[in-house]
A and B are shown apart, each in its own frame.
Chain A
């Protein structure tokens, strides 16, 4: 196995572990961390996959895309943290409120009654 393949497989693993965490951790900060890590996994795939095809020349196009992606990811993370902090300021809890605030145990509620 070629070392570039190792990085590509790591990218797949990290993307999927982060996807699992983003969907199973209710805590908003871990959701933000998980979405950020999903991005880095995708970056690894984006960069490793083309260098398997043309090992003799580094492909600058995915490099430029990943560079742009890193900067956008920082901006998105900052915005997500700001929104999470608004949630905390409202409820004192780092969790998304369930639809119906009167009954936290009803996951499927649309919350029409509470407004």
Chain B
């Protein structure tokens, strides 16, 4: 490792810790969100330095991109409701609800002790030779792909990836049921966005993103890339299209959206079952069929992941409508909801 490389590593590490500390301690929500996006991009640099380009791609698109967009969208909705210049604990936390300082002191001490213990344990331990990476490398030809990460994700640990898609579908169902499917996002029909910068950016960025995503899916079997990275990129393009008002917001209430999301999981499960008579094991691909099956599953997953992520962006971040069922129990509840309705009537 060169001195220049060490300098870069040290800068990235210091920047990461400083950004994390600052964004967690600041009292302004907007500042925290901007720092969060910077943190995500710095973290993707760290993944590159750690020799994990597969993760760096996903981190830049998801950790910084989609999550940052989620927070920014939430912020924007709340700021619009509060009005210009008004102070609100929603966006500026004065810390008045925080626990007392004796609790913070005690917790701080405990956390420092925990850190010293973890550092001592992790630096001291872990010198045993590992056999698993060599085992994976030796048996990689059996997976039908040359990218070891794709081999692990879709062959050795196919179960994990299947269950991950199930988690995504569950999260989508959860978010949607919080909303009860009412429309939350997007411009009213017939109200095109006139922002020339946004439109120019969309026209330039979306085609490039889509081509890159298709390439990443295709190349994922040999080079860094695959369904997760491509799905994240496509989701970014979808968010851009939705924000620009070009694409109708893909809420989970619509059947095509549900079909596309369920399709990824259904295809994965069906592929797992289809190989049962041939190999006798769920998701155990028959010899010679691994590569086409993985490619097909990855293509389905790319679409599923992209649609779920855009749906999470569209259906979550807005102030939920007041719930008449809850309001009838407690008429004093939901002042924000009432204020919103008052604002729409006038």
Contacts and interface: CB of A to CB of B under 8 A. Distances in A.
A binds B: yes
B93 to A, nearest CB: 4
B24 A33 contact: yes
B46 to A, nearest CB: 6
Contacts of B17: 10, 13-14, 17
Most chain A Cβ neighbours within 10 Å, of B23, B127, B323: B23
Nearest to B116: A12
19 contacts: A10-B46, A12-B118, A12-B119, A29-B71, A37-B24, A50-B130, A53-B128, A54-B134, A57-B137, A60-B133, A60-B149, A63-B54, A70-B59, A74-B63, A75-B308, A78-B70, A82-B174, A85-B320, A88-B336
A18 B24 contact: yes
B126 A49 contact: yes
Most chain B Cβ neighbours within 10 Å, of A61, A78, A83: A78
A89 B50 contact: no
A54 B67 contact: no
B114 interface: yes
B41 interface: no
| Size bracket, chain A contacts | 35 or more
B244 to A, nearest CB: 21
B285 interface: no
A89 B320 contact: yes
B152 interface: yes
Given A6-B9, A89-B319, A20 B52 contact: no
* Main SS at interface, chain B: helix
Nearest to B1: A3
Given A24-B107, A67-B54, A77-B70, A3 B6 contact: yes
B153 A82 contact: no
Interface in B77-123: 78, 89-90, 93, 95, 97-99, 103-104, 107-108, 111-112, 114-115, 118-119, 122-123
A24 B312 contact: no
A62 B73 CA distance: 32
Given A20-B108, A75-B308, A70 B39 contact: no
B340 to A, nearest CB: 9
Contact of B51 (A5, A18, A58, A82): A58
Given A85-B318, A85-B319, A64 B152 contact: yes
Given A57-B134, A70-B58, A79-B171, A29 B107 contact: no
Given A68-B153, A71-B305, A88-B90, A82 B50 contact: no
